[in-house]
Amino acid sequence: MHMAQTNRRTSRRSIYLKLRQMVLTLELPPGAALSENELAASLGVSRTPVRESLILLAQDGLVQIFPKIGSFVSRVDPAQVADAQFLREAVELASLDALPSDPDHSVITELRDNLARQQRPGLGLEEFFELDEAFHQGLMRLSGHGNVWTTVAAAKGHLDRARRLGLHENVSPAVFADQHREIFDAVVGGDLASARTAMRTHLRAVFSDIERIRAHSPELFATGSSSVPVRRNVVVWE
């Protein structure tokens, strides 16, 4: 019985993580109607772990469940984006203040390699996103507070979706790679004031992305906590 319970929890956790990733990567886009039957069939599981996972995602604010109507991927909430951005900026700027005078050279080497990979021609958006995450986590490791990244990452579901929407809007992620290079060069050059300014500008770029995207695709964004989604066909991001 104990083994069965453990397997059930493991199954629910794996399905939850899979569905969460599908939401964050926009494979399940904002406003999409969610069918427990279809999700269970596509994932090769029963409806029970899917239903339990959707409840967990609702607790994360990434899914909305309306009795007698259905379950939907939450639209991107600009207020939650702002909250996550506030947390992230506070933590990342504080980490720059905590950089040691003699930083870990192995982490510096990893960051240089990361920056080089960001510049590869034909880099996919998800590949760039992963490198982006690793770069920022690397800077926090440089400050000795790399473990804090887990807390930051858990809080930024709406922010990550807004960032991905921004990447889709831009012709190339090169502008963000250049900003990363500017931050890195300031850090290794010991110019922490410039590093802070560049980091703040870089992190706040998501707000202008949101306004630009909302102008032509308002249906992707929440307009109020009481708004009920409508079942409809939605664009699936390629």
Indicate if 67 and 166 belong to the same structural domain.
no
The CATH number assigned to the domain holding 70 equals: 1.10.10.10
Instruction: Confirm whether 229 is domain-assigned.
Output: no
Q: 41 and 144 share a domain?
A: no
137-163: pLDDT as tens digits: 999 999 999 999 999 998 999 999 999
- Across all residues in the chain, what is the average pLDDT? 90
Q: Are residues 52 and 119 in the same domain?
A: no
Same domain (yes/no): 52, 121: no
Q: Are residues 94 and 205 in the same domain?
A: yes
Above pLDDT 90, what percent of the chain? 82
Examine the pLDDT at 7 and tell me if it is beyond 90.
no
pLDDT of residue 6: 54
pLDDT over 90 (residue 196): yes
Statement to judge: residues 66 and 133 lie in one domain? no
DSSP-assigned beta bridge partners for residue 65: 71
Residues 129 and 200 occupy one common structural domain: yes
Q: Are residues 14 and 41 in the same domain?
A: yes
Question: What pLDDT score was predicted for residue 235?
Answer: 42
Which whole number is the average pLDDT over 172-194? Answer: 95
Q: What does the alpha-carbon distance between residue 58 and residue 75 come to, in Å, rounded to a whole number?
A: 12
| More confident site: 11 or 37 | 37
Least confident of 50-59, 142-151, 223-232: 223-232
Neighbours of 53 (CB within 10 A): 25
Interatomic CA distance for residues 225 and 238, integer angstroms = 28
Q: What is the pLDDT of residue 236?
A: 43
Q: Is a pLDDT exceeding 90 seen at residue 128?
A: yes
Q: How many domains does the chain have?
A: 2
- Full residue range of the structural domain in which residue 30 is found: 2-74
Question: Domain ends where: 74, 102, 135?
Answer: 74
Residues 70, 49 share a domain: yes
Q: How far apart are CA 158 and CA 180, in angstroms?
A: 22
Decide if pLDDT at 228 tops 70: no
